[in-house]
Amino acid sequence: MNKDTDIQLSGPFKATDGSGRAHDIKAIRIFDEGYGAIDVYVDFAGSIAGLHKDKTLIAAIVAQLRTTGYQGPLLTPGDAVLQENKLMVLEAPDEFNAYAAGKGWKDLAEEFNDDE
């Protein structure tokens, strides 16, 4: 991702996975524009190989997002091919869009929703 087009939703914090291990998270971010579906990028300080589906870890990430104003349902694991050693990609539900828009995200699909 190009850091010039990222919107940072959270800075550093710690999150615990389902086995009780603590992980240092550097940031939660999104790309500044898209077509309705939003991928949420979670940057870790260390390896999280194999943890992209850990429900406890995802819940801890969502809990952090709630401290920044997000009120919707849990996020879900993104496609396995998007996951990296120190990066977790989560898919946001439609309810995330209003929260993201409040943080500066632009829905490019809105341009095509005109009734004219």
Q: What is the DSSP letter of 84?
A: B
Mind listing the pLDDT tens digit of every residue in the chain (116 residues)? 446 789 999 999 999 999 999 999 999 999 887 666 799 999 999 999 999 999 999 999 999 999 999 999 999 999 999 999 999 999 999 999 999 999 998 877 766 655 54
φ/ψ bin of 33: left (φ > 0), alpha (ψ from -120 to 50), beta (otherwise)? beta
Q: Are strands 87-91 and 106-107 parallel, antiparallel or unpaired?
A: unpaired
